[in-house]
Structure 1
Amino acid sequence: MSYKIYDGAKIINRDNLTIGHNSQIDDFVFFNCGEESVLGSFVHIASFCSIIGGGKLYMDDFSGLSAGCRIITGSDDFLGGGLTNPTVPDKYTNVKKSTVRIGKHVILGANVTVLPGVTIGEGAAVGAGALVRKDLEPWIIYVGLDCKPLKARPSDKMLSLEKQLLADLGIDLESIQ
């Protein structure tokens, strides 16, 4: 398997991380791999991103996080079900861990925040600065702070280019994952 994690990236719970072929984690990324984190092939996590919360993260092939994205896989209970602070022993807190799923060919623009439990459908694109609080449909472009759908994103060209790239590189992703 070939992938690149730059020396300036901080990876916590690295034993819980699986990375596919030709993926990259840039300098200045903070990544708490939590319970489980699986990055597919050709996945990119840009500088100044953070993945926190202690839950699970799944990023499918050809997905990417632009600079400054925040992926949150768990959160304190803000309704008073426990104390809220990472310095407090677990038995006094009520941290809710969940799963964030980022589909194949998804791109998140700079400084997008994804909250716990969200699934982003294949091919979705999210514009800079959006807050993703709920699941997103496949092959739609979303924009604005409240992540509103803008228009469909064409899949045929991207999927064709994917096949061409893999053929040119002689890579069968099914056989290496």
Structure 2
Amino acid sequence: MTFKIYDDAKIINRDKLKIGHKSQIDDFVFFNCGEESVLGDFVHIASFCSIIGGGKFYMDHFSGLSAGCRIITGSDDFSGKALTNPTVPSKYTSVKKSTVRIGKHAILGTNVTVLPGVTIGEGAAVGAGALVRKDLEPWTIYVGPDCKPLKSRPSSTILALEKELLDELGLSLKMLEFMNKE
């Protein structure tokens, strides 16, 4: 397996990270691997992205985060029933950890923010600056700050190109089981 993590990427809890073949994490990424983080094959995380929150994070094969994306896998309880922020001992806080899943061939544009508990379906594309607060359907293009569906994204060309590439390289992708966990 070959992958690339650039020298100026900051990876916290690296022992919780599994990273696939030909995947890449660029310089200036901040990645808190939390409870568990799995990146499939041919995954790209661009500069200035952050993955935080302490929960679980999964990216399936051929998915990508464009520059400046924010993935949040957990959050303090802001209701007033607990203290907040990471400087406070955990017995006085109430951090809810969650899971974020990004499906195969999904792509997030520059400065997209994904909130805890969201699943982004296979082949979904999210335009720059969107706030993703709920699950996204497969093979759909979403745009705008409120992440509204625009139109379907055809899968046939992408899947044919995937097959051509894998055949050329003599590879087969092992199915990742994390999309159906929990």
TM-score by length of 1: 0.98
Number of the residue aligned with 1:34: 34
Of 165-174 and 95-104, deviating more is 165-174
Number of the residue aligned with 1:109: 109
Question: For 1:176 and 1:4, how far apart are their aligned partners in 2?
Answer: 20
How far is 1:174 from its partner?
A: 2.1
Question: For 1:167 and 1:39, how far apart are their aligned partners in 2?
Answer: 21
Question: For 1:163 and 1:71, how far apart are their aligned partners in 2?
Answer: 29
Question: For 2:112 and 2:70, how far apart are their aligned partners in 1?
Answer: 6
The list of structure 1 runs, each at least 4 consecutive aligned residues, that deviate by more than 6 angstroms after superposition, is none
1:139 aligns with 2:142: no
Question: Match for 1:50: what amino acid?
Answer: S
Number of the residue aligned with 1:155: 155
Question: For 1:136 and 1:176, how far apart are their aligned partners in 2?
Answer: 19
Structure 1 gaps, min length 5: none
Question: For 2:151 and 2:157, how far apart are their aligned partners in 1?
Answer: 16
> Could you say if the C-alpha distance between residues 141 and 29 of structure 1 is closer, same or farther in structure 2, counting changes exceeding 3 Å?
same
Contact 2:40 2:176 in 1 (8 A): no
Number of the residue aligned with 2:81: 81
* SS of aligned partner of 2:159: helix
CA deviation profile, 1:2-31 (whole Å, cap 9, x unmatched): 000000000000000000110000000000
Number of the residue aligned with 1:72: 72
Question: For 1:70 and 1:174, how far apart are their aligned partners in 2?
Answer: 27
How far is 1:172 from its partner?
A: 1.5
1:13 aligns with 2:13: yes
Question: For 2:12 and 2:37, how far apart are their aligned partners in 1?
Answer: 11
* SS of aligned partner of 2:168: helix
Report the RMSD for the aligned CA atoms in angstroms: 1.3
1:45 aligns with 2:45: yes
How far is 1:81 from its partner?
A: 2.4
CA deviation profile, 1:100-128 (whole Å, cap 9, x unmatched): 00000000000000000000000000000
Q: How many residues align?
A: 177
* SS of aligned partner of 2:15: helix
Structure 2 gaps, min length 5: 178-182
* SS of aligned partner of 1:162: helix
